Structure 1
Amino acid sequence: MPFAASPTTTFDYLVDPENRPRWQSSLRRIEDLSPVGDRAGGTGTSWRDITLVPWVRPHLEVVECAAPLRWREIGRWWFVDASLSLAVSALPDGRTEVRARAYLTVPLVLAASALALKMLAPSALRADLHLAASIVGDY
């Protein structure tokens, strides 16, 4: 997904947990933000997502932050783990390319219901990043 801002601006916006409810469609807000280091979203930063589904409130933690190139978080909710990885690179035309990968790990007994979620997740992630790109482009 191309962004019309520099890699640093794009990275800083995307990895800051306080920005997430503005561009991530499944979020209402975040709570219990515990930043670590000198960057919002730095390795060790944790928070709780308050999602549109009232009983789904995963705990998230940043497990990798190599600014402005790579970032990864792990979210945990009961028996479900989700991982989001971002790879950021400069494009020759001055824009920034963001590649995102999401992984979901569920117990075998929930595999059937998770299949639908896995099928919907890529389009939802693309839509969320498209919204983030439009927001960052307005900075």
Structure 2
Amino acid sequence: MPHPPEVVFTYLADPRNRPEWQASLTSVTLTDRSEPHVGMTWRESTLVGVRPRLEITHLEPCRLWAERGRWHGVTATLALRFTAIPGGTRVRADGEVTARGPWGAAAAAAGRLASRAVKADLERAARVLARA
């Protein structure tokens, strides 16, 4: 992204911004209105009706932000790593979707599709930041 790590991290680490750049979301409901911090939780409403509860699990400004989301028997993790590069910031995303019981097949399918979705969402975030 053609912005410094401070700008990219601040934008992506704040759950309030997610509906702007995450295509699958319709809204985010925070449990508190403070600045992002480890332990902060929120609930997302998605286009397909899934309403996971998410939590920030790691927050190291301008370097690493991670979350864990749960919905029924499905757990998803996502970590964003930020690296300053000439002219901007590289964002690397790593994640995993797991499930127990009858949700196993759906979680496996979601995991296979997640890479493309996360890449598209981060490209969308770059476009939003370019307009700011």
TM-score range, shorter chain: over 0.9
Residue pairs, 1:23-34, within 5 angstroms: 23-34=21-32
Deviation at 1:30, TM superposition (A): 0.6
Q: Is the 8 A contact 1:45 1:61 kept in 2?
A: yes
Alignment-derived partner of residue 95 in structure 1: 88
Amino acid corresponding to residue 43 of structure 2 in structure 1: R
Deviation at 1:35, TM superposition (A): 4.4
Unaligned runs of 5+ in 2: none
Where relative contact order (Cα < 8 A, 6+ residues apart) is larger, the structure is: 1
Other structure's SS at 1:48 match = strand
Cα distance in 2 between the residues matched to 1:35 and 1:88: 24
Alignment-derived partner of residue 83 in structure 1: 77
Other structure's SS at 1:62 match = strand
Deviation at 1:128, TM superposition (A): 0.4
Deviation at 1:124, TM superposition (A): 0.6
RMSD: 1.4
Alignment-derived partner of residue 46 in structure 1: 41
Amino acid corresponding to residue 32 of structure 2 in structure 1: S
Identity of aligned residues (%): 39
Cα distance in 1 between the residues matched to 2:33 and 2:94: 23
Q: TM-score, normalised by structure 1?
A: 0.88
Deviation at 1:33, TM superposition (A): 3.5
2:14 matches 1:20: no
Cα distance in 2 between the residues matched to 1:117 and 1:62: 21
Alignment-derived partner of residue 130 in structure 1: 123
Unaligned runs of 5+ in 1: none
Deviation at 1:108, TM superposition (A): 4.6
Runs of 4+ in structure 1 over 6 Å off = none
Alignment-derived partner of residue 5 in structure 1: 3
Change (3 A) 1:29 1:61: same
Other structure's SS at 1:129 match = helix
Q: TM-score, normalised by structure 2?
A: 0.93
